[in-house]
Amino acid sequence: MSLLRALLAVPVSLMLLALTPAASPAPSAPAAQPTDTLLPSLVAQGGAPAAALLAKEQSGGGTRYAEAGPGIARADHFRAGSITKTFIAAVVLQLASEHRLKLSDTVEQHLPGLVRGAGNDGRGLTLRALLTHTSGLSDFTTDTRGLVPLTPVQAVRIALTHPPAGPGRYSYSNTNYVLLGMVIQQVTGDSYATEAERRIIAPLRLTGTSFPGSRTSLPSPHGRAYTTDGSDITGLDPRVAGAAGELVSTLADLDRFYAALLGGRLLSPYWLHEMTDTRTAHGLYGMGLFPVKLPCGTTVWGHNGRIAGSYVRTAATVGGRRVLTFRVNTTWIADPDLEPALLATEFCPRTS
């Protein structure tokens, strides 16, 4: 199995109007790209009711939107799933840059006595291990299937009924980021949501992005969300994922966030380098980001997000100069080859 397809298998585990004076000619929309023609395949072959994408290029390429299928729109709010992890990781690294914690700190130092059981021991687990998914902690959503609302402590306790994976081995686990959310609160006195809003959402003016807590409804406007069997699951308690996947956002906001993050607006060069250093996870994952090397040799950075009724993927070039976010309003894309094909078509140079 390829790296990209392996990452796609992990469980949980968006519109600005430009107004011009009446006397000025309206700007022409960017020409459709081959990526846009692939979008209907997410519906026809991928089994999604609808799909949408928003691409942005800083060097004169402008912004491009495309959609396929009914009931989806550019300004929709949707659940972003594990893209939440990139926000959480950025907050933790900001706290590290402020010397309020160290990545070498153990979980025990911040959450004493919490991580004990079935061979798991927080005294030997560092924050770096949580950020890079090398802690070995079991993924609580394997037990809950991402459908049971839990407190953070409940989620951790479920994970601790299972023995850890091999020490230092990359093993994607939502439990890691639930713990990081708890660490943020312990260090700052505020919830991870409050810290992310203050440090990221407000400065970047991500007006469509929020941490809903226990609110089961989506902000307006929004479409519907469906499970793979067609059941409507638009109303969902975000506590099924918490700090590992609670986020609600929009296509435009996610493009703006990843462009700003990879462009160095949220972290200094040193800490951005830390975030994109994949050595701890053996080349598979940084900290809240993972790389994908495309067939043409271009590497893109970003994350995917899956939660019941929603799948979203954001990818950006180094420096954030070019970014793409696409989404479907269902949990899974039936054909796993569609996503890598879409990324390659978007980011690899086109020849005439």
Catalytic center residues: 82
Contact yes or no for 144/242 (Cβ under 8 A): no
CA torsion, points 75, 77, 79, 85, in degrees to nearest 10? 70
Distance CA 95, CA 182 (A): 14
The token pair that represents 311 in the structure block: 């799948």
DSSP 135: S
Strands (DSSP E) along 238-282, which ranges? 248-249
Q: Quick count: other Cβ atoms within 10 Å of Cβ 135?
A: 29
310, 335 contact by CB (below 8 A): no
Beta bridge mates, 190: none
Instruction: For residue 305, list its beta bridge partners.
Output: 312
From residue 248, alpha-carbon distances to 224, 316, 352 in Å are 14, 20, 39
At residue 116, what is the residue type? R
Specify the amino acid at residue 160.
L
- CA distances in angstroms from 28 to 2, 111, 250, listed in the order given: 39, 55, 23
Task: Tell me the CA end-to-end span of the chain in Å, nearest whole number.
Answer: 32
307 DSSP 8-state letter: E
DSSP one-letter code for 240: G
